[in-house]
Amino acid sequence: MLAKLDRLLSQADISLTDQQKQQLVDFVQLLDKWNKAYNLTSVRDPNEMLVKHIMDSLVVSPCLQGHSFIDVGTGPGLPGIPLAIANPDKHFVLLDSLGKRIRFIQQVLLKLGIKNVTPVQSRVEEYTDQQFDGVLSRAFASLNDMVNWCYHLPNENGLFYALKGVYHDEEILSIEKDIHGIDVVKLDIPQLVGSRHLILLKK
């Protein structure tokens, strides 16, 4: 699996240390193990997880601006854990309302020795502890829902980072809150079938 990850990273022009690569492989193995009992992801094959979960998360890394990030509706820690492994100088809050997902993330942090992640069990609209440089979401409902539910989370210069598959301009036009500074980045993920986009929004 390490050899496959090496090839994928090379194709995506992403450079990581041997320790970071090992942590990513260990994360996939833990996800595969826990998935059998807790149904954390519909992806069953660890090799597919490398493409659909790990690489799909890591390609966002060059776009991150700032130090503090929150991953809302993180599920089993995606994209938060791969991004935290790749960016040890940044801090990530991983937010999810389901206890089984947060317990899994706590195990991952313990086993892999990850120090720059804080897991939080909460509904996003009820989490008001702090504001962030970036609000990340992957496979979140619509852009309008994301902005509505997370509008209190970015700080003065903070950005929304929405990971989407197929992207249509109408989604941005349908956002009810006041936003600007829009950018749409087409993501190129090795061996992934289908299109992926990163939509950047600012209050």
- Residue 128 in tokens: 């008001």
Write phi, then psi, for 140 (nearest 5 degrees). -80, 160
Closest CA to 54 of 14, 93, 19, 92: 14
Tell me if 176 is assigned to a ligand binding site.
no
Place of tokens 């990030």: 69
Tell me if 78 is assigned to a ligand binding site.
yes
| CA pair distance 89, 100, nearest whole angstrom | 27
Residue 142: C-alpha distances to residues 41, 81, 175 (Å): 20, 23, 9
Tell me if 156 is assigned to a ligand binding site.
no
DSSP 185-198: EEE--TT--S-EEE
Tell me if 16 is assigned to a ligand binding site.
no
| CA pair distance 55, 191, nearest whole angstrom | 10
- Residue 138 in tokens: 């992957």
Tell me if 94 is assigned to a ligand binding site.
no
Sheet with 117-121: strands ordered across: 117-121, 91-96, 68-72, 132-138, 154-164, 196-202, 180-187
Identify residue 75 by its one-letter amino acid code.
G
Binding residues: 73, 78, 124-125, 138
Binding residues for S-adenosyl-L-methionine: 73, 78, 124-125, 138
